[in-house]
Amino acid sequence: MNQDTTHTHHVIRVDRSAYAQLRQAVASGQLQPTQEDLDVMTGGQVYRPAAQLLSVQQLVHDRELQLGHLAITGEFYRLPEQEYTSIIRASLGTYRQYPGVYPLLTGLLAPMTQADETTWLAGVRLAAAQGRQLASGADMVDDLWTPTAWLRDRTRLIELGGEWFVVLYVAQPPRRPVLAGRAVIGVDIGLAPLATAAWGQQHAVTWRLAEPAVPAGEPVEVRALAEILTYAAARAALEDLTRQVLRQANTLVLETIGYARFRGNFTANARRRAVADWHQSWGPQRAYARGIRVVRVPAAFTSQICSACQTHTLGIRQGATFTCPNGHRLDAHVNAALNLVRRYWGLQARARRRRVA
């Protein structure tokens, strides 16, 4: 990423229902192939929309972007809160949202009783039944954000392996120098909790969130709205953790993870609960935009080694607790996050030795 970068970019997968009109737009010259290196994906053909498409660009609702006469469907709610707010604010007068979603969102930010879940699901059903209505602001966020500019002229589409993606750009404030003396912070990701940050004797963890079940027989609109609310609640928790971390960090240490290698439902759940998007995209970009270095290190054994021992000591993880033969008992997620920091310093020392040699 260029040192003068003052934007973030966000890649949204396009629904297959929109593919035919995109191919037609390519054939008519309204989507023009370009050799631009966007540095957002590996491979693929980049297309620049014609000026008349870029100039008429609005978010219609959380699953549809208007690009001129093109209606591009996708999961456009999968953005960090500030960028999501900025695009909605730029689309007021067009953007539609289900009524009453804010209390439904905040209701998920703490564990629920069975009665709470029943009430919440009734609220989702009512909102879906009322349908999307013109919105006056960004109701699906937990905090107040100062909108920045949606850089409409930079919107691009990418075709890769028979699939289409849209890339949106949103301005960020100029990068600020980071004060000396700040910490190297490791962040361990998961699902419960979503993320844990640790540095020195301190740590921060995402809130516990409610996970009300949505019965399989519910209408598509109810299930879709519940999915967006689940994502928004997880995003709010990750935004809160990010604010805590960025106030303290000069370096953010993340795991190198290949999501395709996971078995089971972890990857799908990490996408559903915003963890994958935070880890792969907007967490690092938010850090960079604030002048904080981001480093990725191998994740192997970080959950199995004791961070409190001076030597390489294997321990046992049982649920949320890690113990080692030397008597250390630690929160398993904090232990993994501290091991990321430890690995970072180990790689730094190795690099210095190579330079000396």
Q: Domain of 290: which CATH number?
A: 3.30.420
Domain limits for position 156: 7-95+135-171
Q: How many domains does the chain have?
A: 2
pLDDT in tens, 65-84: 999 999 999 999 999 999 99
Q: Count other Cβ atoms within 10 Å, centred on residue 186.
A: 31
Q: What pLDDT band is residue 355 in, cutting at 50, 70 and 90?
A: low
Question: Quick one: pLDDT at residue 2?
Answer: 43
Instruction: Check whether 167 has a pLDDT greater than 80.
Output: yes
Are 21 and 72 contained in the same domain? yes
Gap between the Cα atoms of 246 and 249, Å rounded: 5
Are 223 and 79 contained in the same domain? no
Are 28 and 84 contained in the same domain? yes
Are 142 and 259 contained in the same domain? no
pLDDT in tens, 235-249: 999 999 999 999 999
pLDDT in tens, 37-54: 998 988 899 999 999 999
Are 161 and 276 contained in the same domain? no
Are 143 and 279 contained in the same domain? no
Residue 202: enclosing H or E segment and its boundaries? strand 202-205
Are 20 and 152 contained in the same domain? yes
CA separation, residue 333 to residues 65, 115, 243, 347 (Å)? 38, 31, 19, 21
Q: What is the mean pLDDT of residues 274-284?
A: 95
Are 270 and 322 contained in the same domain? yes
Question: Quick one: pLDDT at residue 3?
Answer: 44
User: Is residue 204 assigned to a domain?
Assistant: yes
User: Is residue 13 assigned to a domain?
Assistant: yes
Are 152 and 285 contained in the same domain? no
Are 200 and 307 contained in the same domain? yes
